[in-house]
Amino acid sequence: MRPIVDEAPLGLVRARWRRHPRHRNRNRFRKRKRKRKQKRNGGTTMRTDRSRRLEADALPDDAEFALCLTHDVDRPYKGLRGLYYATQERPGYHLRTLLPGSNPYWQFESIMELEADLGVRSAFYFLNEQHLLAERPVREWFSPSNWVQHLGRYDVTADEVVETIRALDDGGWEVGLHGSYHTRDDRDRLREEKQTLERVLGKPVAGGRQHHLRLAVPDTWDHHRSIGLEYDASLGSAAECGFHYGYRPIRPFEDNGSDFLVFPLTIMDQALPDPGTEFEAARRTCERLLLDAARNDAVMTVLWHPRYFNEREFPGHRRLYRWLVERAAEMGAWIGSPGAFCQHLEGEIEVEAEAESDADAELDARDDPEVTPVTGSKADSDGKTRPARETDPGGVTDAADPTESEPVGTDSPTARGES
């Protein structure tokens, strides 16, 4: 990672710090990141602050803009839904594809090949719905909309899905959570779905998107954050493309010192003109949004459902997706998954915080005689000694100015936890 502040003169670092005197208090509640860092550094505390995080919002690799690629895995099997299509059009084809062994919605390998060919990686969000008869309350059995939801349900612990999830992860794709229909208001259910997916994946998931973009703002994000997710990508429209929620990811809980990120959705495949019949119109819409993204250093997030990659059933969608990625690359975009984007930000934050931590340790040594070096000291080039480590970055300032205390809110370690 490119060190940004490492080479900054000490005066500059100090001036920035002076402009944001509250940061020491904010930092006290940024436990999670700090703990990880502490572990790596063998117990050293670190600092991040709001100003640092804003500065760290630089796009990866000095890109013109960022394009985040995502796929919601809703119905990997054509299954019973095919019966519905069979009554509408091309009945012979749709009935044939219901035969065992023929599965036109199973597009994982083909998407992986396409993206590997393009040199990009995306995120796949897996749905983990409850079984309507086995797990949902009886009153819900009688709602037709619940049956529509239920048709085509898949099991993330089924052998072929487990294998797929692991193959995606091995290949560098992001595997995320597609929170099921009822989880918008159900933190416990959301946590269960996340835990099941993580058991399959063998590691934590960073984020995902709610099925049908069903969000209660900000409650659903609070659920996400409290169960340990770092981001959500549900904010958007299934009917309209565009930057309706701004050009950059949003931090809804920034005032609580939380880094939780929201990636607004720019394009959902079904909101475009049908590329099967109006390819040029669909391409022009994408082009307009790419140019808009480049003009505004945007983070543009797109959703292509895996079944749309079947050119026979959904002509034009795969071709358009390829065009979009190639055009974005041509325009100098960083292209990847939202999780990879978060990792980039985290890397930038930590690089900056490391530099700041060193610089602040030096400042503390000069300004605050109370700070005690705990792991020894080392000589500067000018012969003076300074602490190499510090014990509590917030303590001295807190005591000096009690009015600066930050609301702990739901970002306290207990509220964040899995209890």
Count of residues that bind Zn ion according to CB under 5 A: 3
Distance of alpha carbon 200 from alpha carbon 156, whole angstroms: 8
Helix (H, G, I), strand (E, B) or coil at 262: strand
> 334-361 burial, b if ≥16 CB within 10 A, otherwise e?
bbbbbbbbbbbbbebbbbbbbbbbbbbb
Which residue lies nearer to Zn ion by CB, 176 or 249?
176
Nearer to Zn ion by C-beta: 72 or 174?
A: 72
**Closest distance between Zn ion and the C-beta of residue 339, in Å?**
18
At residue 226, the 3 state secondary structure works out as helix
Which region among 206-214, 241-249, 348-356, 399-407 touches Zn ion (by CB under 5 A)? 206-214
Instruction: Output the smallest distance, CB 234 to Zn ion, in A.
Output: 10
In 3D, which of 156, 233, 235 has the Cα closest to residue 201? 156
Residue 145 to residue 355: CA distance in whole angstroms: 54
Min separation Cβ 72 and Zn ion, Å:
4
Query: Cβ closer to Zn ion: 72 or 364?
Result: 72
Q: Which of 108, 235, 244 is nearest to 184 (CA)?
A: 235
Q: Smallest distance from the beta carbon of 195 to Zn ion, in angstroms?
A: 20
Interface with Zn ion (CB under 5 A), residue from 74, 348, 350, 360: 74
Stretch that binds Zn ion, among 88-96, 209-217, 282-290, 378-386 (CB under 5 A): 209-217
> Which region among 35-43, 200-208, 210-218, 385-393 touches Zn ion (by CB under 5 A)?
210-218
- Pick the closer one to Zn ion by CB: 74 or 193: 74
Residue 1 to residue 61: CA distance in whole angstroms: 9
45 to 360, 361, 374, 394, 400: CA distances (angstroms) = 12, 11, 11, 10, 20
For Zn ion, the binding residue among 211, 251, 283, 317 (CB under 5 A) is: 211
Provide, rounded to whole angstroms, the least separation between the CB of residue 209 and Zn ion. Answer: 7
From the list 22-30, 131-139, 203-211, 349-357, the region that binds Zn ion by CB under 5 A is: 203-211
Report how far residue 116's alpha carbon sits from residue 339's, in angstroms, rounded to the nearest whole number.
18
Which CB, 50 or 214, lies closer to Zn ion? 214
- Amino acid identity, position 145: S
Query: CB of residue 15 vs Zn ion: minimum separation in angstroms?
Result: 48
What values do phi and psi take at 362, rounded to 5?
A: -70, -45
Site for Zn ion in 53-72 (CB under 5 A): 72
Tell me the three state secondary structure of residue 61.
helix
* Spatial CB neighbours of 285, under 8 Å, sequence gap ≥ 6: 241, 267, 272, 273
Of 211 and 318, the one with the shorter C-beta distance to Zn ion is: 211
Q: Which is nearer to Zn ion, 72 or 193 (CB)?
A: 72
Q: How far is the CB of 305 from Zn ion (least distance, A)?
A: 8
Q: How far apart are CB 150 and Zn ion at their closest, in Å?
A: 14
Task: Return the residue nearest Zn ion (CB atom).
Answer: 211
Residue 157 exposure: Cα atoms within 13 Å on the Cβ side: 8
- If the CB atoms of residues 75 and 225 are measured against Zn ion, the closer one turns out to be 75
| Contacting positions for Zn ion (CB under 5 A) | 72, 74, 211
